[in-house]
Amino acid sequence: MKKIAQITDVILGLQGTQYNVTDSIRRHFEHAVINAVAAKDPNHKIEDAMAVYDRHVAGRVSPVKGLADALGISKNSLQREIYAQLEGGVYGYKVKHITPDYKLLRATRRAAVHVNFATVTRLSGDFAEEFYRVSGLRDIHARESIFAHEDVDFANKTTQAAYLPALAHLGYQEGDDLSTVLVVDNNAAHLACAKSMGMKTALLGGQNKGLVQGAQIDFEYQNIKGLLHELYRAKESAQPKQAARLTWELPFLFKQP
């Protein structure tokens, strides 16, 4: 049995691990939030939405939730307007936004049959939710499984505190064996921290040199889709084989008296 078949839970990064989120994409998302606030604020309750947005980010509070509360509307209502702004574009031109990756969609859905997922990212939870919405994976990566800038007080992923909330979500407690948890990232320094906690680690985009150069990793793949496909195949192969059904009859057992 392949070693990766032992994995039951996967902790993913987002930026660089599942998608390359450019500054342009982030700015367009922020502008969509501001335009959505303007559309929902005919009485101008919020004078400078961008300043409020930045203040919430600095305070590690969801800007979408904070702005929705200030407007007296639900977060879902403001999110729907944000989606409309992103789909409508700017001045009639479609903005550069997240491009759905249907191969990632298929690979994730297949792997999700066998493993549970959590996400640890320094991006905002609002943006992570948007990424999974566009990717068609919001049901697998629900908001409660995302541990983002608003949720985790960490300087970077080289600290164990960055992973503890995700582990708790997945059902692990202090002292538990973490050898069936796989942390996936494109940064070997982040993975060294996870490895020191007893988790398995997978490096992405390392040009297959990480293991040779002695990096603290267990697996190495060019991209997340390759990892998820191999994880699925290994888990499927490890399933107990069902005995072939008896498709023929013994006539003498059924002779009439």
Q: Does residue 225 have a pLDDT over 70?
A: yes
Domain ranges of the chain: 3-21+100-238, 23-88
In this predicted structure, what is the pLDDT of residue 81? 93
In this predicted structure, what is the pLDDT of residue 248? 47
pLDDT tens digits, one per residue of 126-140: 999 989 998 999 999
Q: Does residue 257 have a pLDDT over 70?
A: no
Homologous superfamily of 3-21+100-238 in CATH? HAD superfamily/HAD-like (3.40.50.1000)
Hey, what amino acid is at 7?
A: I
End-to-end CA, the chain: 52
Task: Give me the sign of the Cα torsion angle 15, 136, 218, 166.
Answer: positive
Of residues 214 and 73, more confidence is placed in: 73
pTM of the model: 0.84
What proportion of the chain, given as a percentage, has pLDDT over 70?
84
Of residues 95 and 19, more confidence is placed in: 19
Contact 108, 36 (CB under 8 A): no
Q: Does residue 149 have a pLDDT over 80?
A: yes
